[in-house]
Amino acid sequence: MVHFKARSLIFVLLLSFQAAAAFADPLPSWSNGPIKEAILQFVRGVTDKSGKDYVPESERIAVFDQDGTLWVEQPLYPQQYFALERIKEMSGKDPVQKKKQADDLEVKNDVKESEIEAIVSKIHAGMTIEDFQDAVKGWLQTARHPRYKRAFTDLVYEPMLEVIRLFKANGFKVYIVSGGGQEFMRSYAEKVYGIPPEQVIGTAGRVKYEYEGGVPVLRRKPAILFVDDKEGKPEAINLMVGRRPIAAFGNSDGDKQMLEWTGNNPGPHLEVLISHDDEHREYSYGADSKIGTFSEGLKTEAGLKGWKVVSMKKDWRRIFRWEGSSRPTGEGDRPRQG
């Protein structure tokens, strides 16, 4: 009898835990409000087979920009820091050219991601894809952000990781579609975001199929294949995915066309922009910044088309997973404006 009661109690507890898990908040880092509810309602709608907004799992495509949408992009893009470090490390034969490349990258708020990838392609020309990715992984292990004094992979936005997990748990296929270097992002995307390399689309450098000691390799060339920014984003999605997304997340003018294309979907769709307005926990910048420009025109279009604009300050209860354990201060507290 005692054993029966014990087993019954365990069974009841298990049911309670399962019920609690079923009703657990999937977006705990988000403040309760219209933005959070819009995301949750969208997911509920497209997954409810009995509802008018149901979307078959094969058509649930979500696309996310990376820099400024998934992780910190100020005061420089992380790939910019990588390129600067690599220029210093590599013993090139042309020190004058090396200095010019470094000077180009040091123009902190006046360089595009595609221009960074062009320089990265030049200084890494001749490397195999595997060697390049190993170089990126090695750099990420030791590099630290000048303000936070943490690894760049620690500067991922926890609220966005929650959205990615929510989407994946509900049958979405999630892609990163960013102006950053494609091979650069593929080096860490699966470990950091849980997104496999074949679902990472970025500005791509040219490669060439060659043989090295009889072994086939893909070797990087000093040229760009395509630029994944602005109108290049929907073009790349069409080329690499073959389906129009039903959800798109970005943070800048470079994401406008991707959100427009997603918003022209005849079925249910969701477009979200991240507004950087929290100078204490992260950075505050917008129309005047050359990195992550959020222009007045973009803000106006978002209002007219019903795109959701996330306020980091109001809508995110915490920005980073480690938030609360330390508060960054000192040099680099404010982004440089263009």
Long-range CB contact pairs, 51-56, < 8 A, 24+: 53/267, 53/268, 55/246, 55/267, 55/268
* 287 Rama class: left (phi>0) / alpha (psi -120 to 50) / beta: alpha
pLDDT of residue 155: 99
Contact 67, 180 (CB under 8 A): yes
Per-residue confidence (pLDDT) for residue 110, from 0 to 100: 58
Q: Which domains does the chain have, with CATH numbers?
A: 28-315 (3.40.50.1000)
Question: Measured between alpha carbons, how far is 135 from 109 in angstroms, rounded to an integer?
Answer: 25
Q: Is the pLDDT assigned to residue 59 strictly greater than 50?
A: yes
Give the burial class of 331: count Cβ atoms within 10 A of its Cβ; 0-12 exposed, 13-18 middle, 19 or more buried.
Answer: exposed
Give the model confidence (pLDDT) of 192-234 as tens digits.
Answer: 999 999 999 999 999 999 999 999 999 999 999 999 999 999 9
Number of H helices, E strands in the chain: 13, 7
- pTM, two decimal places: 0.86
Whether the per-residue pLDDT at 245 is higher than 90: the answer is yes
Average pLDDT over residues 280-288: 98
Name, in order, each residue with C-beta under 8 angstroms of 168's C-beta and a sequence gap of 6 or more: 174, 194
